[in-house]
């Protein structure tokens, strides 16, 4: 079995990319919303189990030089790829180990343990080991993130998986397996006699979904030998047996009755009281197939009541834009703010309008709530307003925006700047990636596509050259004024993409 997993990932490596929802800053932020104080991201210890080639861990290590990172993975091929990246980036705060998690026996404790995309694809003894390791090696204020396939959602996907496995059972070569699996599903979706039956619709939707996914994903998500989905309550029972405690899911919004009619919510409260039963019942309601759960050590104190006071200790960012050049801060007139995807946000209270104006100019930087409130209050003019009431109003509104997906909250100071300094410096990962291709990661821990015109400039931005030197090297044929204009515009664009550190 182990050999099968190793071979599968060695021969067909997983494309390992930054996973924002696993970032310690995100875990710490969710934890603080629930009254749990996690370790400072700028000085923490992180372990990733099943780190593949380190695409998630390496950008974190590059952003937080005073934190330490350990990744383990069974696939020596993937670990060797990651080790080459680490060497090229000159990082000394990260180690990737090619080993079986069953053999990992370091005594160190970790503030954050990430096990993403592994639990459901390994046999039960390895699953138990993942949770046992979290229990043994989490620091007292530590948080583990474990993702896993859930029932009842995966029950339906299992039908598709089993059909594909059946038809590819004798095919050894991974590429040929994926091709044949795709062809099988396409055939079934097309040939199913009753296309409008539940089965017909399931096949069609699954075929559409899988057609958009790359080969490595189809192989590891659907065709691995092991793929065990569990009910949320079963998972929590395993967690409790290991003396761990369920804290939350990585997307807090999934824990709220968003989108449910009041009548449904009332019934839910009656028939599924308490957090665990409610979470389980929501999975039935939504046919959930995947969870990313945060775990802490048993006995840790929590207060899950979401309150605006918690927001006051956090940083805020939102990708909102102003619609009009001038926003009326003197009245309760409703103003519209826009998101890049066309969504609109209406705000009428002056303190909220002032804060959104500030956030629009600062994106993607997250600014401390207190600073946001102070700057917004200043824009409204001192004396005229009740600052304490405004502060509470703003915190409630930010919490509401966060829970509707319109505003981000962060615990840690961002590891990037919006405006470049006199010797501009881009993040090390993007500088290394730019000459090789467009795929990279920004300092918000997102996979990004580097823009063609910016790729050649990035390697020059290593913090040793002045702006004039960079511009002369990059635009040798332009006049000095034109160079300056080009450089200012490009640096502004890189800043907005969270690619600059200085």
Ligand X SMILES: C[S@@+](CC[C@H](N)C(=O)[O-])C[C@H]1O[C@@H](n2cnc3c(N)ncnc32)[C@H](O)[C@@H]1O
Q: Per CB under 6 A, which region of 111-119, 326-334, 362-370, 483-491 contacts ligand X?
A: 111-119
> Pattern 84-103, binding to ligand X, x per CB under 6 A?
----------------xx--
Q: Check if the beta carbon of residue 279 is closer than 8 Å to that of residue 268.
A: no
244 binds ligand X (CB under 6 A): no
Pairing relationship of beta strands 315-317 and 408-410 according to DSSP bridges: antiparallel
Q: Using the CB atoms, write b or e for 79-117: b if 16+ within 10 Å.
A: bebbbebbeebebebbebebeebeeeeeeeebbbbbbbb
Write down the least CB distance from residue 78 to ligand X, Å. Answer: 5
Q: Check if the beta carbon of residue 322 is closer than 8 Å to that of residue 339.
A: no
Q: Is 283 helix (H, G, I), strand (E, B) or coil?
A: helix
Nearer to ligand X, 9 or 416 (CB): 9
177 binds ligand X (CB under 6 A): no
Q: Per CB under 6 A, which region of 34-42, 68-76, 295-303, 343-351 contacts ligand X?
A: 68-76
Nearer to ligand X, 148 or 232 (CB): 148
297 binds ligand X (CB under 6 A): no
**From CA 306, how far away is CA 283, in angstroms rounded?**
21
**From CA 361, how far away is CA 349, in angstroms rounded?**
19
With residue 467 as reference, give the H or E element that holds it: helix 467-474
74 binds ligand X (CB under 6 A): yes
Nearer to ligand X, 115 or 316 (CB): 115
292 binds ligand X (CB under 6 A): no
Nearer to ligand X, 119 or 475 (CB): 119
415 binds ligand X (CB under 6 A): no
Write down the least CB distance from residue 20 to ligand X, Å. Answer: 12
Write down the least CB distance from residue 160 to ligand X, Å. Answer: 18
73 binds ligand X (CB under 6 A): yes
Residue whose structure tokens are 């925006």: 401
Q: Per CB under 6 A, which region of 116-124, 149-157, 171-179, 318-326 contacts ligand X?
A: 116-124
72 binds ligand X (CB under 6 A): yes
Among 82, 117, 153, 174, binds ligand X (CB under 6 A): 117
Nearer to ligand X, 199 or 216 (CB): 216
Q: What are phi and psi of 411, to 5 degrees?
A: -90, -45
Q: Per CB under 6 A, which region of 118-126, 267-275, 282-290, 457-465 contacts ligand X?
A: 118-126
Q: Using the CB atoms, write b or e for 323-335: b if 16+ within 10 Å.
A: eeeebebeeeeeb
| Number of residues in the chain | 502
Among 27, 30, 52, 229, binds ligand X (CB under 6 A): 52
Q: Per CB under 6 A, which region of 8-16, 192-200, 292-300, 320-328 contacts ligand X?
A: 8-16
Write down the least CB distance from residue 6 to ligand X, Å. Answer: 7
Nearer to ligand X, 101 or 491 (CB): 101
Other beta carbons within 10 Å of 309: 11
75 binds ligand X (CB under 6 A): yes
Nearer to ligand X, 227 or 318 (CB): 227
Among 45, 182, 220, 391, binds ligand X (CB under 6 A): 220
219 binds ligand X (CB under 6 A): no
Other beta carbons within 10 Å of 341: 6
Residue whose structure tokens are 């004024």: 481
**From CA 269, how far away is CA 273, in angstroms rounded?**
5
9 binds ligand X (CB under 6 A): yes
Alpha helices in 363-445 (DSSP H): 369-380, 387-403, 428-433
Among 12, 14, 69, 148, binds ligand X (CB under 6 A): 14
122 binds ligand X (CB under 6 A): yes
Nearest residue to 395 (alpha-carbon basis) of 498, 482, 311, 474: 311
CA quadruple 214, 215, 216, 218: dihedral positive or negative?
Answer: positive
425 binds ligand X (CB under 6 A): no
Q: Check if the beta carbon of residue 62 is closer than 8 Å to that of residue 91.
A: yes
Among 24, 50, 82, 364, binds ligand X (CB under 6 A): 50
What residues contact 298, with CB distance under 8 A and at least 6 apart? 240, 243, 244, 245
DSSP E strands, 312-441: 315-317, 320-322, 335-339, 344-347, 367-368, 408-410, 439-441
Nearest residue to 457 (alpha-carbon basis) of 495, 491, 429, 485: 491
Q: Phi-psi bin for 498: left (phi > 0), alpha (psi -120 to 50), beta?
A: left
126 binds ligand X (CB under 6 A): yes
Write down the least CB distance from residue 53 to ligand X, Å. Answer: 8
Write down the least CB distance from residue 296 to ligand X, Å. Answer: 21
279 binds ligand X (CB under 6 A): no
Q: Which residues bind ligand X (CB under 6 A)?
A: 5, 9, 14, 16, 50-52, 72-75, 78, 100-101, 116-118, 122, 126, 220
């Amino acid at each position: 079995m182990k050999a099968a997993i190793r071979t599968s990932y060695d021969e067909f490596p997983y494309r390992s990319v930054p996973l924002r929802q696993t970032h310690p800053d995100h875990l710490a932020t969710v934890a603080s919303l629930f009254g749990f104080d996690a370790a400072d991201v700028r000085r923490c210890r992180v372990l990733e189990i099943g780190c593949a080639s380190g695409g998630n861990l390496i950008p974190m290590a590059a952003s937080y030089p005073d934190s330490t990172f350990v990744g383990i993975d069974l696939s020596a091929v993937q670990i060797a790829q990651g080790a080459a990246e680490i060497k090229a980036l000159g990082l000394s705060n990260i180690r990737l180990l090619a080993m079986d998690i069953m053999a990992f026996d370091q005594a160190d404790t970790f503030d954050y343990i990430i096990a993403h995309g592994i639990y459901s694809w390994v046999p039960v003894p390895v699953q138990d080991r993942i949770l046992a390791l979290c229990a043994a090696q989490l620091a007292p204020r530590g948080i583990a993130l474990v993702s896993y396939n859930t029932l009842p959602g995966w029950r339906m996907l299992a039908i598709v998986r089993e059909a594909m496995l059946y038809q590819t059972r004798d095919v050894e070569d991974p590429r040929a397996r994926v091709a044949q699996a795709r062809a099988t599903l396409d055939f079934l979706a097309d040939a199913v006699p009753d296309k409008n039956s539940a089965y017909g619709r399931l096949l069609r939707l699954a075929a559409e979904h899988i057609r958009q996914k790359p080969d490595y994903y189809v192989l590891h998500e659907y065709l691995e030998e092991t793929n065990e989905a569990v009910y949320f309550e079963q998972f929590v029972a395993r967690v409790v047996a290991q003396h761990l405690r369920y804290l939350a899911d990585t997307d807090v919004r999934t824990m709220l009755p968003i989108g449910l009619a009041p009548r449904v919510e009332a019934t839910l409260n009656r028939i599924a009281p308490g957090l665990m039963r409610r979470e389980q019942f929501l999975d039935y309601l939504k046919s959930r197939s995947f969870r990313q759960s945060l775990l802490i050590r048993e006995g840790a104190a929590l207060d899950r009541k979401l309150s605006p006071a918690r927001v006051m200790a956090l940083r805020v960012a939102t990708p909102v834009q102003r619609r009009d050049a001038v926003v009326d801060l003197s009245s309760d007139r409703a103003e519209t703010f826009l998101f890049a995807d066309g969504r609109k946000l209406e705000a009428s209270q002056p303190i909220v309008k002032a804060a959104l104006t500030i956030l629009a100019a600062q994106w993607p930087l997250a600014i401390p709530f207190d600073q946001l409130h102070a700057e917004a209050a200043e824009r409204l003019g001192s004396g005229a307003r009740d600052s304490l009431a405004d502060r509470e109003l703003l915190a409630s509104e930010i919490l509401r925006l966060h829970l509707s997906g319109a505003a981000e909250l962060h615990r840690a100071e961002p590891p990037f700047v919006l405006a470049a300094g006199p010797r501009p410096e881009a993040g090390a990962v993007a500088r290394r990636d730019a000459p090789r291709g467009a795929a990279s990661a920004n300092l918000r821990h997102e996979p990004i596509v580097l823009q063609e015109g910016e790729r050649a400039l990035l390697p020059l931005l290593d913090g040793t050259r002045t702006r004039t030197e960079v511009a002369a090297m990059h635009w040798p044929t332009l006049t000095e004024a034109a160079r300056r204009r080009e450089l200012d515009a490009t640096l502004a664009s890189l800043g907005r993409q969270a690619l600059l550190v200085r």
